[in-house]
Amino acid sequence: MHPRPGNFRLLCVIDNLSTGGAQRQMVNLAAGLRHRGHLVDVFCYTAGDLLAQPLHEAGVTLHRHLKRSRYSVGVLLALSKLIEMTRCDVVLSFLSTPNFYAIVAGRLLARHRVPVVVSERFCDLHGTANLQERLVRVLYRLAAHIVVNSHHHRINLVNKYPALRDRISTIYNGYDLQVFHPPTSEPFSKTLRILTIASVSPYKNGLCLVEALNILKQRNSLPFSATWIGQRVMAGARLRYLREMEDRIHAYDLEQHWRWLDQRVDIVEQLHQHHVLVHPSYGEGLPNVVCEALACARPVIVSNTLDHDRLVQHNKSGYLFNWQDPMDLADKIEMFARLSSEERRRMGHFGRRFAEENLSLDRFLDDYEQLLSNVLGR
């Protein structure tokens, strides 16, 4: 595979190739642009290569320099050397710390100065960025463009940094809609099978789900089971939140209704095996799992915040609920449970159509290809 005339050489910077949403989107982008004829390199600085195989298959060159401290001068030097060695046309980074490395290396250290495009994949929790994020954003004045993956966060950044208004844009995530596809049949179970896919942390709001399930149990109005898939960090605030969730599950005698699963790669199969995705999170960018559920024609019950009301049309592809109100979540789960099989199928079909129109991999690649070409003046 050789680059066509007019194509560019891109260097992507990400922390690792593990299982996170930003990492999966970086892999989609790098492999997709390589398939379109662009030369693409990927640079990582922490361990993790679960997502590396698609890059190898696409012919993307991987470079690793494992850092030894939180902010490593060695990473900056290795990245600036790589920029000079590859003579890349543009650098693209995802996430706050990679954005820091990309700007400092690409705009301040490397003799071969290149335009740098940075991307934030989250939101400011409670409207306020932490100190690290604020310091990195000071460097954004040196970036050629800033991409976010939600309109909510774009509006937030424009309000906080009006001088950057013309260099901030939203590009929604992209998904292979042949991989994320509707099921051939619906789950055969009289028990409502609820799925949540998220790491355990306060802003993922798992306690709201636990409280809602306890309300449903007290009402005794429907049989249900809940599966939580995701990373459980055994340290700090996340561990304390996990322990509180476990304590309440035990106190409410919900163990027989609840199943913990760790990180999984069979997300499509898990979505197909459950009736509905419940996503109670109140803090993130664009939630991959909601987009993937829509692509798989799974109805979604999601918190009414961030860009969620743009993704899920209330009463059409799922339901929106007040993330601070477990009673509201319980009501929405009960409403879904009352739907007929045909009404659930219609919900799934509506979500799939939204994904085809707004969340395809081709649309994602087109948007980034156009942006990078504009940055390069082509």
pLDDT, tens digit, 9 for 90 and up, residues 285-309: 999 999 999 999 999 999 999 999 9
Distance of CA 296 to the CA centre of its chain: 16
Same fold for the pair 9-174+360-375 and 192-358: yes
Q: Which CATH number fits domain 192-358: 1.10.3470.10, 3.40.50.2000, 3.40.50.1970, 1.20.1630.10?
A: 3.40.50.2000
The confidence score (pLDDT) of residue 235 equals 84
Q: Which residues pair with 41 in a beta bridge?
A: 11, 61
For 232, phi then psi, to 5°, come to: -115, 100
pTM, full prediction: 0.92
The confidence score (pLDDT) of residue 6 equals 67
Q: Which CATH class is domain 9-174+360-375?
A: alpha beta
- Closest to 314 (Cα-Cα) out of 332, 330, 298: 332
Axis-axis angle for helices 341-358, 288-295 (nearest 10): 120
What does the pLDDT look like over 97-152, one tens digit per residue?
999 999 999 999 989 899 999 999 999 887 778 888 889 999 999 999 999 999 99
Cβ atoms of 138 and 118 closer than 8 Å: no
Cβ atoms of 48 and 125 closer than 8 Å: no
The confidence score (pLDDT) of residue 131 equals 84
* Domain ranges within the chain, ordered by starting residue: 9-174+360-375, 192-358
The dihedral sign for the CA sequence 43, 47, 48, 49: positive
How large is the average pLDDT for residues 260-283? 94
Q: Which residues pair with 175 in a beta bridge?
A: 360
